[in-house]
């Protein structure tokens, strides 16, 4: 029972982690909390739905096209709406992302309607796989596999590639990074694109479980914010750890106590952690020497 | 190599630089001296394109081509590296990653390896700390890191902004020795300093900047012997208050 709860909690948690990673890289490079992250994922999922249902493109093709769409959507939002804000205040930036969130939400409702749809998926929620004593539904197995692969690829990219290192450099000191030759504005747009892809993958993976409607990402995004905060908001590994532990924690609460308390207890623990360790589990802060 | 002709630089309505001309010939160390707020950093920032729409008037030429209107990303690709004051390291990157960022514009893997070896040879301490976060280095080590990182771009011209600031005297000596070596191995240097004595000892030529104007320029050796410079910049005579002469001149213009 215990191991079972942990494994299926991990599957949910890995989705939080994907969204949280997107939040963290945007926060680090643009210093903005991207409230539109969930809605970008939701729209991308609807796009995948349209490709599948209306245009009858096979699942893999629809998936890839939706990923490309989310990439472009993320970059377009940054270029069209955030870049023109030249000397923005942090609050102004948050309002912009909230605005984007509302626009996407309304647009999705207008285009696809507010009724709940079934997301057609080749993965079954009822077919199960046995791993020793643990059972996993096919959907959860795929969620776990896909998000682990994606997260590893992502962390390798950030750690070892020139562009990945430049993204981290920009987040610490954009002026100096420019002086080294990094084309900062484009790299920032690219982080928005990558963050959107992470969200889109999470959305498409979760859709067969939660069904499809414009509200589908509200709760996951809230959890992702909590996961990112838990992990320290500026730490990539922290977002992964934060997402995983949040998923496990709420599943344990749901399993041993009552499902009603799932959300409350999860957030109670986060508040507790933040009181004891304000910079999160893995947050690191260097004070600049002047 | 670098020729600045009669530039004026404004911060909004305020003029910070007022008709400055200077020249850095290839292969030399030229030093730009001046007290706090004289405008030294402003000039360097303008050369490397950090101040948008500046210089307001005047021309900056590098290797015979105008730099006016280019942005920093373009200028660094022309072979100019600006090493900012105050050790602008990437604290949360490792020493190794900082060096990698320095070489951001380069594609020549082979020469890059050679230059990296050269940097680690100048600064062996960086080699011992390659995988440590740069934020954990001491002040002196951080200064070495920013110079080493600048060298990773293999620049033709290096703009150095107050490398001695906040370093212990022994460390200052070491850093200046390395600057001299870097120049002897072929990199042209524009060295901005308040520490006139140290700077003039390694420089070939010097300019004195006060309140946005060049007030004196000469061979470094002559400047070291110059009575005004000895009084005001080298702290040798004490009977005149620092800045006395210039303050006097300035007031005359106002009244
Ligand atoms: N960002 C800025 N906005 C307005 N004025 C500035 C700015 N930066 C510098 N200044 C002013 O320009 C003058 C020259 O500054 P600076 O170039 O930093 O001097 P230095 O490097 O010689 O100490 C100073 O009077 C300073 O107050
Ligand atoms: Mg300065």
Model confidence band, residue B176 (pLDDT cutoffs 50, 70, 90):
very high
Q: B54 or B202: whose pLDDT is higher?
A: B202
| C-alpha R_g of chain A | 19
In a domain, A49, yes or no: yes
Look at residue A98 in the predicted model and tell me its pLDDT.
92
| Residues facing residue B17 across a β-bridge | B9
On the question of pLDDT at B73 being above 50, the answer is: yes
Q: What is the pLDDT of residue B250?
A: 38
Residue A123 lies in a domain: yes
Select the more confidently predicted residue: A82 or B207: B207
Strands (E), A76-169: 128-131, 134-137
The region of weakest confidence among A5-14, A71-80, A272-281, B239-248 is B239-248
Q: Could you say which ligand is closest to the alpha carbon of residue B52?
A: 1
**What is the per-residue pLDDT for B152?**
92
- The mean pLDDT of A97-101, rounded to a whole number, is 91
| Complex ipTM value | 0.82
Whether B212 is in the pocket of ligand 1, judged by its Cβ within 6 Å, is no
Q: What is the largest CA-CA distance in chain A?
A: 60
**Range A203-226 average pLDDT:** 87
Does the pLDDT value for residue B185 go beyond 60?
Answer: yes
Percent with pLDDT over 70 in chain B: 90
Measure the N-to-C terminal CA separation of chain A; round to a whole number of Å: 54
Specify the pLDDT at position A133.
78
CA distance B15 to B76: 26
Contact predicate B72/A182, CB 8 Å: no
Residue whose CA lies nearest to ligand 1 atom number 24: B37
- Is A108 within a domain? yes
pLDDT in tens, B133-167: 999 998 888 999 999 999 999 999 999 999 988 88
pLDDT score recorded for residue A286: 45
| Residues B91-125: tens digit of each pLDDT | 889 999 999 999 998 888 888 888 889 899 999 99
Binned at pLDDT 50, 70 and 90, residue B74 comes out as: very high
Domain that holds residue A13: 2-217
Q: Give chain A's domain count.
A: 1
Instruction: State if residue B42 touches ligand 1 by the CB under 6 angstroms criterion.
Output: yes
H helical segments located in chain B: 40-47, 72-77, 95-102, 109-122, 124-128, 139-151, 169-184, 196-202, 220-225, 227-232, 244-254
Q: Give the SS3 label for residue B31.
A: strand
Candidate from B92, B104, B139 with C-beta closest to A180: B104
Q: Can you tell me the distance from the alpha carbon of B148 to that of B128, in angstroms, rounded to the nearest whole number? A: 14
Residue A246 within any structural domain of the chain: no
Lowest mean pLDDT among A13-17, A45-49, A282-286: A282-286
Ligand number, closest to the Cα atom of B35: 1
Residue A73 within any structural domain of the chain: yes
Residues of A in contact with B105 (CB under 8 A): 180-181
- Whether A102 shows a pLDDT value over 80: the answer reads yes
* A61 vs A267, more confident: A61
pLDDT in the model for residue A289: 38
Confidence of residue B252 (pLDDT cuts 50, 70, 90): very low
**pLDDT exceeds cutoff 60 at A282:** yes
Average pLDDT value for residue range A80-90: 81
pLDDT level of residue A260 (50, 70, 90 thresholds): confident
Residue A31 lies in a domain: yes
> Any idea where the domains of chain B sit in the sequence?
2-220
The reply to whether B50 touches chain A by the CB within 8 Å rule is yes
CA distance A66 to chain B (A): 32
Residue A288 counted as domain residue: no
Tens digits of per-residue pLDDT, A158-192? 888 889 999 989 988 889 999 999 998 899 999 99
B238 lines ligand 1 (CB under 6 A): no
Judge contact between A245 and A7, C-beta under 8 A. Answer: no
- Please, what CATH class does the domain formed by B2-220 belong to? alpha beta
List Cα–Cα distances, B244 to A85, A117, B18, B208, B250, in angstroms: 46, 81, 21, 15, 10
Mean pLDDT of chain A: 86
Could A168 and B93 be called an inter-chain contact, meaning their C-beta atoms sit closer than 8 Å?
yes
What pLDDT is attached to residue B236?
Answer: 57
Percent of chain A with pLDDT over 70: 96
Tokens of B55: 């210089």
- Give the mutation target among B37, B199, B214 for probing the ligand 1 site: most ligand atoms within 8 A of CB: B37
Residue B133 CA, ligand 2 centroid: distance in Å:
26
In the block, residue with structure tokens 């060298």:
B151
Residues of B within 8 A of A174 (CB-CB) are none
Mean pLDDT over the full length of chain B? 85
Closest residue in A to B97 (Cα) is A165
pLDDT > 80? residue A29? yes
């Amino acid at each position: 029972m215990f191991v079972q709860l942990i494994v299926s909690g991990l599957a949910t948690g890995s989705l939080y982690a994907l969204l949280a990673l997107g939040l963290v890289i945007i926060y680090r490079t643009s210093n903005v909390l991207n409230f539109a992250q969930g809605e970008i994922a939701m729209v991308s999922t609807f796009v995948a739905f349209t490709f599948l249902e209306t245009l009858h493109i096979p699942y893999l093709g629809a998936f890839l096209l939706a990923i490309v769409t989310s990439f472009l959507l993320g970059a377009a939002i940054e270029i069209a709406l955030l870049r023109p804000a030249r000397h923005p205040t942090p609050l102004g930036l948050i309002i912009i992302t909230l605005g984007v969130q509302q626009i996407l939400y309304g647009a999705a409702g207008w285009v696809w309607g507010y009724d709940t749809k079934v997301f057609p998926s080749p993965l079954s929620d009822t077919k199960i796989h046995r791993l020793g004593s643990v059972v996993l539904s096919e959907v959860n197995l795929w969620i776990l596999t896909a998000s682990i692969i994606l997260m590893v690829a992502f962390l390798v990219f950030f750690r070892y590639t020139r562009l990945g290192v430049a993204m981290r450099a920009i987040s610490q000191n954009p002026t100096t990074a420019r002086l080294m030759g990094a084309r900062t504005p484009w790299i920032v747009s690219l982080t928005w694109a990558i963050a959107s892809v992470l969200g889109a993958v999470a959305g498409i993976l979760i859709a067969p479980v939660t069904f499809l409607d414009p509200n589908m990402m509200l709760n996951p995004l809230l959890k992702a914010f909590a996961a990112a905060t838990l992990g320290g908001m500026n730490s990539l590994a922290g977002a992964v750890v934060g997402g995983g532990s949040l998923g496990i924690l709420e599943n344990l609460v749901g399993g041993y106590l009552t499902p009603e308390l799932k959300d409350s207890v999860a957030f109670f623990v986060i508040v507790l952690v933040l009181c004891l360790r304000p910079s999160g589990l893995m947050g690191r802060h260097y004070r600049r020497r002047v | 190599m670098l020729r600045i002709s009669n530039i004026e630089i404004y911060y909004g309505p305020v003029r910070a630089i007022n008709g400055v001309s200077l020249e850095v010939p290839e292969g030399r160390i030229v030093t730009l001296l001046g007290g706090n707020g004289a405008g030294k950093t402003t000039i360097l920032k303008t050369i490397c394109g950090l101040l948008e729409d500046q210089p307001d008037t005047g021309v900056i030429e590098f290797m015979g081509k105008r730099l006016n209107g280019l942005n920093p990303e373009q200028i660094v690709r022309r072979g100019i590296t600006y090493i900012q004051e105050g050790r602008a390291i990437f604290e949360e990157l490792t020493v190794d990653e900082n060096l990698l960022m320095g070489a951001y514009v380069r594609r020549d893997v082979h020469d890059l390896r050679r230059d990296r070896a050269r940097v680690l040879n100048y600064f062996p301490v960086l080699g011992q700390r390659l995988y440590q976060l740069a934020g954990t280095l001491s002040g002196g080590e951080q200064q070495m890191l920013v110079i080493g990182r600048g060298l990773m771009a293999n620049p033709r011209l290096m703009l150095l902004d107050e490398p001695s600031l906040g370093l212990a005297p022994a460390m200052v000596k070491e850093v200046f020795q390395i600057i001299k070596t870097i120049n002897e191995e072929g990199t042209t240097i524009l060295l901005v300093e308040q520490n006139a004595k140290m700077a003039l000892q390694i420089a070939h030529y010097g300019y004195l900047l006060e309140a946005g104007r060049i007030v004196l320029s000469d061979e470094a050796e002559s400047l070291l012997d110059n009575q005004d410079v000895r009084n005001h910049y080298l702290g040798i005579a004490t009977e005149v208050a620092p800045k006395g002469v210039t303050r006097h001149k300035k007031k005359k213009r106002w009244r």
